[in-house]
Structure 1
Amino acid sequence: MFFNKNFVKLALLVVLINCYGMLGAQTLIENVNASSSMESFKLDEVRLLNGPFYDAQQTDLAYILKLDPDRLLAPFLRESGIPVKAESYGNWESMGLDGHTAGHYLTALAQMYAATGNKVCLERLNYMVHELAICQKKNPLGYVGGIPGGSKMWNDLRNGNFELFDKKWVPWYNLHKLFSGLRDAYVIGHNKEAKVVLVRLADWAYDLLNAMSKEQISRMLRTEYGGMNAVCVDISVLTGNSKYLELAKRFSQESFVSELSNSKDSLTGLHANTQIPKIIGFEKIALADTENRDYGLAAQFFWNTVVNHRTLATGGNSVHEHFNPIDDFSSLMESVEGPETCNSYNMLKLTELLFLSRPSSNYMDYYERTLYNQILATQRESKGGFVYFSSLRPESYRVYSNPQKDFWCCVGTGMENHGKYGEMIYSHKASDIYVNLFIASTLDWKQKNITITQTTQFPFGEKSQIKLTLKHPQTFTLYIRKPSWVGQKFQIMINGKLFEYANEDVKEDAGYVAINRKWKEGDLISICLPMKTNLVGLPDNSNWGCLMRGPVVLAAVTDTTDLVGLEGDGGRFDHIASGPLYPLSKSPMLVTDSITSIDTAHVNDKVRLLNPRILTFDATSLISDEKNRRLKLIPFFKVRDARYMVYWPIARKEHLAQRRKQLNNEDAKLLPLRARTVDYVVAGEQQPETDHLMESEHSLTGIIGDRHWRSTGNGFFSYQMKMDSTVRYLRVTYLNKDDTGGLQIKVNGHLISPPINKKVSQDAFFWIDYPIKPDLAKDSAVEVKFINGPGRNNCHIFDVRFLR
């Protein structure tokens, strides 16, 4: 793209939302000529006051400071040929994703310094940036990274050789974390050296993609690449150089833009968090190139379809990291691998972008719901530790990271999440101020000599009070968000007098009450935020329900038994709860008058508030069985180290026995297989295959219905799978029409015997149990390899599992 006439304006106007709004730079509402636009405040202009978000921020700070910068830097020094100063961390930091945490850490340090003023964070930030600069100087091309063997891999890729790239664990995703961390070190942490390293790294990436054909780039982008398109737009803005905007477009798949911009939802089965960062990039490109509407249309449609059709009451989405069918959420009620924290982290980034360019309380309603029920809920209170999967299966539990042992993707985003709560509490359009969230905080807008102090116990109280401190009287509009969940008694008082707002004061789509007046020192605005308890169903309208108080999801702690691996211990799969599954048929149930159209008043009347200070409720009259009527409801974000109920099976009283029978049938299909399974892979799904260190050559993948498959194609594919002495069978699931006669399967190089068992039909699929000889079951991990046999048609392999 040539440097068009709008670009200089855009360099000033495009907000670096991926930098969490800390520049306070402007965004466009519709186009570059918009007369006014919404801006976020810098993070150092907002301070949290006592409350759940402040507590979470301080817990996160303590976790961050437990980490050793030299251990995080070790992969970069190693790959640059410089002696390391400390041993690299283990877990994902030594399994191929080496260095990804350092990028997150740079962002987390910059944010935490801005949000709290903690000088240790700034010292560590500056130290790490300087060390990375030293590493970069060792590479004349400007590359710096922690990917094992990265320099050779990138050089091969430049020459069209994908052999090493295909064997690495998401290289561009890994590198994107460093790009983002360097950007934030400069924009938020004001480290000038970070910009130098970032731009050199961007030049290296630009030259690399310039050497590749369009077809090669397309193939490369089949592998998860994070938000490379988004960060390239940011670099374009920072430098005023449009070549990085062109690079952003090269990192954007045109076919995906086209589908979404034409309102086509083809998300089912896709790896969710691979898509969301791309969409953030689409929206940033739309803001930077106003002549191309498709990117913006794609971003808006994606947000609408995910939030309105694929999102749970908590604000999370997806199951075992993939988008489930919009008409079938049963897998989310069965799996311990519920919504992923990284998904919510990125959905909030996208929501913030869309809100600042198109202000509407619809965006902030979603933002608020996700902030309380996904983000705040995914850090272990006071002790620290981050959650990967927030299981919604009845009576499941969550696993927390250990700061010295676990380096999952959701640890990286987790460190960032709790340091940036102040970014969207307030925003402004010119001199007008928007109050978006009801969180105890102060806003110090030095540019306008305005200080806002918001005092609230929300959601443990239904009021928020805003006090203005002004050096001199000023006329401006204060916009107070009127949430979608608020009751009819929503009120605003100004200096003790009721503010009578007319309909025109609440913008039809914006959902904000506009108060325009000449404000003076000490003016006090009191906001009444009455909440009701609602029963919220699943998007597929199946008979499951979740209780919410205003924007807060309520949960019931059932017990603290069998919490196997409650804290990660550095194992490859420690982020997944491995304790026994409790039967769905024995879980607590709710009795309702209707399972399709919820009678809100009926539910609200039957849920009794016991203690408003800690938001505890009694739902005895809604719980079906005597045994579980003792259960009390509390905010989900207060549940720690326990099994819980978020979504409950629901039924009318006369249908309780029938509902139990239905759940019992589901248990009969799932629980015995789970008990026999030592390890399994869903073939064709990105994350399970990555988890099992898949290797392949000329292999093929696809989706039939909502199920992924992989075939050998003209080559092979293999997984590294867990094994123990109890294993007796390898079960492989195929498509009914497949002929498996020519397929070769090897375990640790040994061709396994033909199956004794006949194939067993299961709807459109069948499985075969291949016997495993005891001498193959001695190792703790083995390679399972599928090889294309001579003269045979490819089988569609859906599921591979070792059975006791």
Structure 2
Amino acid sequence: MTYKACTLGQVSLGSGVYEDRHRNNVDYILSLHNENLLQNHYIECGINRYPNLFGTWEGKENSHGEHLHWGWETPGSAVRGQFLGHWLAAASREVAATGNATLRIKALNIVDELALCQKEHGGEWVFSIPELYMDHLAQGHPNGVPQYVLHKTLMGLLCAYRYLASDKALDIARHASQWIMRWARQFDADRWNAILDVETGGMLEVWADLYEITHDVKYREMLDLYWHQHLFDPLLAGEDVLTNRHANTTIPEAIGAARAYEVTGAQCWKDVVEAYWKCAVERRGFFATGGCNAGEIWCPPFEYAARRGDKNQELCTVFNMMRLADVLFRWTGRREFLDYYELNSINGLLAQTHARTGMPSYYLPLEGGARKLWGSRLHDFWCCHGTAVEAGAMHGEGIYYYDESAELPAVVVARFVNSKLTLPIANGELHIAMQEGSSMQGDALHNASSAGALHRPQSLTAYLKVENAGQASIILRLRMPSWCSGSPTISVDGVRRPAHAVNGFTELVIAPGRCEVTLVVPKELRAVAIPDAPETVAFLDGPVVLAGIADRETTLYGDLKRPTSMLASNNERQWGTWMHGYRSIHQPQSMVFKPLYEVDDEAYCVYFPTQPCAT
């Protein structure tokens, strides 16, 4: 079974938390000035198109380069210019998804300016750092991580080609790759493997994409050259080569291996991906949030208690591990990869972007009484800043998948997110409009909602309006998540249907025409322990991690087998909306709990030492 992802242009987000974050992201990327996005590329190639870019022209008072990009984008930073690639990738995807005309103009202008930079630099080098940085890397004393920076520009250009149909962007990328290929082919095996030990970003993925687009054998040769022997060989031998290793150096290499398999069919690449997942997830475990690193390095297998601190769960690793989970679901159809994707999407991507400003948190602290440290609009530009911008344009992904290989085509509803799908099928289209029940809201101005249940339902309800405008039936495959705590129910046009799950999914045959499907998935409050500290727990409501609002670690008293002996619903309804809060009960001090993704500036705790109640 092989699935394809329903992606940009096929899926649109409906009102709700994901669309809110998406809109924040669009507003932000539109607000950035092209000349500042390009500032380091201009400097590197010697273009003086904006002589007052840094606010120093003619010594004018109060000319401070108001929109200049600082932080990692400061001229002189070893990784300057990396953000532009993220921006261009995000903008290109956004245009493909929504047709945003203003963003299209901005993005294509960026491509034009990069072409000018490349021309001024001799026709190949188009990057924001000096060529000399690559020489330093080869000599064993690198300035930062130059291949990582190169990858970001190439990634953005290839996204502009793919989503904006910009042949110019592909031409720039191909000419730039000529320089890298000449450079990479000059080393013996020992020197080259030492070079590959320094973070390469997604260079392996770039070569795979170029090979898929052009079918040029030289890019296939580069795939083979970028086989990272010091990582891939021990992974295939079943060794743990990840513990205490920088996490986001290796995850993009696994993604690159996945793309290499998809474009070449060579089994060795697929074997690397599967071995990587086993080492990184199955044989390691993760925090309740889905993260599995501290201080940017992998935690030891199932030993997390001593790794909680102020630098857990780097956002880049969340996003890239979600990408890897997406790949493995498409290859296998196994529900566990969707469970992982959902957990990290809610308690990673959402939890690490500010609800109002859209700015990212580099880390997600898991120590008691922590606060999230938010980036700024112009003064940080961390790697995770770029990742957040890119991820913000992709919230509509990972919701629907489809499979055309069987007798009846199948569409998977993978996550329960307010959204619409328009999918071409045989002799027509399939339309799905999905609304998650708790977000069918009323407020002070729209207060005609029905009374409904007396208390907050312990279930997730998804309403799907389905129109099969084709000429044959299709299968609607609904994910039954691992957090489901009882027997789900399904009705079609008000008539109950059997909801037997097979391998984590239940199926409905949808004939041509229209119908309304209602899915109710029971959920419960759960206490999830740290693997090596079973009496220290986090609380989850379905897939949502709850945060206690507190400025220090607090012990809770109660029965771990009955989390409701410690927490109860709090402020559960306003007008027609069921809220998500809890409060502690039977404790020396009261504490309010809310979803971790709703915590912006408060101090909070995710994990709590527990003790049995005194008899």
Say yes or no: TM over 0.5: yes
- SS of the equivalent of 1:273 reads helix
Q: Is contact 1:379–1:387 with CA below 8 Å preserved after alignment?
A: yes
2:241 and 2:532 mapped to 1: Cα distance? 17
Moved more, 50-59 or 466-475: 466-475
Q: 1:237 to 1:458 in 2, by over 3 A?
A: farther
TM-superposition CA deviations, 1:353-382 (whole Å, max 9, x none): 111111111000000000000001111112
1:524 aligns with 516
> Which residue, out of 81, 88, 92, partners 1:110?
92
1:553 aligns with 545
Within a 5 Å distance, the mapping from 1:729-768 to structure 2 comes to none
Within a 5 Å distance, the mapping from 1:154-233 to structure 2 comes to 154=134, 156=135, 162-163=138-139, 166-233=141-208
2:63 aligns with none
1:202 and 1:542 mapped to 2: Cα distance? 51
Q: Is contact 1:556–1:645 with CA below 8 Å preserved after alignment?
A: yes
2:449 aligns with none
1:654 and 1:470 mapped to 2: Cα distance? 59
2:266 and 2:148 mapped to 1: Cα distance? 29
2:410 aligns with 432
- SS of the equivalent of 2:238 reads coil
- SS of the equivalent of 1:96 reads coil
Post-superposition shift, 1:128? 0.4
2:253 aligns with 278
Amino acid at match of 1:265: D
> Which residue, out of 504, 512, 527, partners 2:505?
512
Post-superposition shift, 1:82? 1.4
Post-superposition shift, 1:609? 2.2
Within a 5 Å distance, the mapping from 1:601-750 to structure 2 comes to 602-604=562-564, 606-610=566-570, 611=572, 613-621=578-586, 623=587, 626-627=588-589, 629=590, 631-653=591-613
Q: Is contact 2:118–2:125 with CA below 8 Å preserved after alignment?
A: yes
1:78 aligns with 43
1:312 aligns with 287
Match status 1:136 vs 2:156: no
1:608 and 1:342 mapped to 2: Cα distance? 34
Post-superposition shift, 1:454? 0.5
Q: Is contact 1:376–1:418 with CA below 8 Å preserved after alignment?
A: no
1:372 aligns with 346
Post-superposition shift, 1:229? 0.7
1:538 and 1:606 mapped to 2: Cα distance? 18
Match status 1:537 vs 2:511: no
- SS of the equivalent of 2:375 reads coil
TM-superposition CA deviations, 1:567-607 (whole Å, max 9, x none): xxxxxxxxxxxxxxx5xxxx2112244xxxx52xx124653
1:488 aligns with 486
Q: Is contact 2:558–2:565 with CA below 8 Å preserved after alignment?
A: no
1:162 and 1:501 mapped to 2: Cα distance? 59
Same amino acid, percent of matched pairs: 25
- SS of the equivalent of 1:449 reads strand
1:591 aligns with 557
Q: 1:270 to 1:305 in 2, by over 3 A?
A: same
Within a 5 Å distance, the mapping from 1:302-381 to structure 2 comes to 302-308=276-282, 309-333=284-308, 335-381=309-355
Q: Is contact 1:182–1:194 with CA below 8 Å preserved after alignment?
A: yes
Post-superposition shift, 1:136? 1.2
Q: Is contact 2:197–2:230 with CA below 8 Å preserved after alignment?
A: no
Q: Is contact 1:474–1:520 with CA below 8 Å preserved after alignment?
A: no
1:58 aligns with 23
Post-superposition shift, 1:264? 1.6
Amino acid at match of 2:413: V
Q: Is contact 1:319–1:331 with CA below 8 Å preserved after alignment?
A: no
- SS of the equivalent of 1:43 reads coil
- SS of the equivalent of 1:285 reads helix
Amino acid at match of 2:71: N
TM-superposition CA deviations, 1:217-257 (whole Å, max 9, x none): 11211211111111211111011123213212322312311
TM-superposition CA deviations, 1:17-65 (whole Å, max 9, x none): xxxxxxxxxxxx6xxxxxxx31112311111011110011111112222
Q: 1:173 to 1:466 in 2, by over 3 A?
A: same
Q: 1:342 to 1:64 in 2, by over 3 A?
A: same
Length, aligned pairs only: 568
Q: Is contact 1:537–1:544 with CA below 8 Å preserved after alignment?
A: yes
Q: 1:328 to 1:118 in 2, by over 3 A?
A: same
2:69 aligns with 89
- SS of the equivalent of 1:233 reads helix
2:7 and 2:273 mapped to 1: Cα distance? 25
Amino acid at match of 2:557: V
Please report the TM-score for the alignment, with normalisation by the length of structure 2. Answer: 0.88
2:121 and 2:322 mapped to 1: Cα distance? 36
1:646 and 1:51 mapped to 2: Cα distance? 24
TM-superposition CA deviations, 1:42-96 (whole Å, max 9, x none): 3111110111100111111122222122112111121112115234522111222
1:113 and 1:445 mapped to 2: Cα distance? 18
Moved over 6 A (4+): none
1:79 and 1:304 mapped to 2: Cα distance? 42
Q: Is contact 1:260–1:297 with CA below 8 Å preserved after alignment?
A: no
Post-superposition shift, 1:654? 6.0
1:654 and 1:250 mapped to 2: Cα distance? 64
Amino acid at match of 1:93: E
Q: 1:457 to 1:180 in 2, by over 3 A?
A: farther
Higher RCO structure, 1 or 2 (CA under 8 Å, sep 6+): 2
- SS of the equivalent of 1:188 reads helix
TM-superposition CA deviations, 1:110-159 (whole Å, max 9, x none): 12223333222111110101110111123346121001xx12344x46xx
2:61 aligns with none
Moved more, 191-200 or 335-344: 191-200
2:131 aligns with 151
Q: 1:604 to 1:290 in 2, by over 3 A?
A: farther
Amino acid at match of 1:230: E
Q: Is contact 2:489–2:499 with CA below 8 Å preserved after alignment?
A: no
1:454 aligns with 434
Q: Is contact 1:385–1:403 with CA below 8 Å preserved after alignment?
A: yes
- SS of the equivalent of 1:543 reads strand
- SS of the equivalent of 1:226 reads coil
Within a 5 Å distance, the mapping from 1:215-254 to structure 2 comes to 215-254=190-229
1:458 and 1:425 mapped to 2: Cα distance? 18
In our comparison, the structure showing a higher alpha carbon Rg is 1
Q: 1:620 to 1:230 in 2, by over 3 A?
A: same
Unaligned runs of 5+ in 2: 55-67, 440-455
Amino acid at match of 2:411: I
Moved more, 359-368 or 512-521: 512-521
- SS of the equivalent of 1:336 reads coil
Amino acid at match of 2:556: L
Q: 1:141 to 1:131 in 2, by over 3 A?
A: closer
2:278 and 2:512 mapped to 1: Cα distance? 37
- SS of the equivalent of 1:643 reads coil
